[in-house]
Amino acid sequence: MSLFARAASFAAVTLCAGLLLGTTTPGFAQEVPSAHVSTLNALALPQVPMTPTAPDSEATQTKIQPAVVQTVQSLPQSAPAVADDQDDDDYDTLADAVADQSGALDDAEMRCLAAGVFFESKGEPLAGQLAVAKTIINRTKSGRFPKSICAVLTQAGQFSFVRGGTVPTAEGRAGWQTAVAVAKVAARDLWEGTADNALYFHARRVAPSWRATKIAAIGNHVFYR
């Protein structure tokens, strides 16, 4: 290398070293106003709108709680509730059931049933009166006779106390209130008798040649199925 080239290289190295020292030494650093720096940063960075977030929002406060399994002991089974009227229809005797019925009537069918009991079995034991009432009711359900009590009584040739197809009244006569009470006991099925499935009956003083099955004899009547 020539002397001239060496001198040029040395000058270049010296100049570069001086520039480096000027930029790194605090005494040579240029002070740039802060306003200008903010402006430059604003221009250099993209502007993204900021959405305010509530510091106590549900998103930041939500925490996953560990599952808690509670052991519930089975409670002792209590006794079933007993209705207050459970024993309303339980009677010790037929007489108790009859005595518990009111004498009021507001139904034509019940009036006919009470008339049948009265005219066919007044003065009979309560069991005999009940059997008469049950026989009349059974006929309405059998399919062999009319479906209403009044029609069963007024059927031709069946009950001798019926005249002209009309059921007579016995209201106000002795024994009527008992007949009403017995009719209600039978209609409500409040007492089981020995002739509950009877369809026919006759007085003991007669002996019809029936082929029906005899099921009971109560008071002055014999009952058949």
Q: Is the residue at 13 inside a domain?
A: no
pLDDT of 175 strictly over 60: yes
Q: Reply yes or no on whether the pLDDT at 181 is more than 50.
A: yes
203 backbone φψ class: left, alpha, beta (φ>0; ψ -120 to 50): beta
Largest Cα–Cα distance of the chain, in whole Å? Answer: 174
Q: List the CATH number of the domain containing 99.
A: 1.10.10.2520
Output the pTM of the full model. Answer: 0.61
Return the pLDDT at 106.
Answer: 83
Domain that holds residue 127: 94-195
Higher pLDDT, 5 or 15: 5
- Say if 173 falls within a structural domain: yes
The rounded percent of the chain whose pLDDT value lies above 90 is 56
- Indicate whether 79 belongs to any domain: no
pLDDT on residue 209: 87
The answer as to whether 84 is a domain residue is no
Decide if 114 contacts 180 (C-beta within 8 A): yes
* Angstrom distance (rounded) from CA 220 to CA 128: 8
- Residue 130 belongs to a domain: yes
* Residues near 33 by beta carbon (within 8 Å), at least 6 away in sequence: none
Position 200 in a domain: no
- Whether 102 has a pLDDT exceeding 70, the answer reads yes
* pLDDT of amino acid 218: 97
Identify whether 24 is part of a domain.
no
Instruction: Confirm whether 181 is domain-assigned.
Output: yes
Number of structural domains (the chain) is: 1
* Backbone φ and ψ of 110, nearest 5°: -65, -35
Instruction: Give me the pLDDT at residue 216, please.
Output: 96
Residue 129 and residue 193 in contact, taking contact as beta carbons nearer than 8 Å: no
Tell me, rounded to whole angstroms, the distance of Cα 77 from its chain centroid. Answer: 20
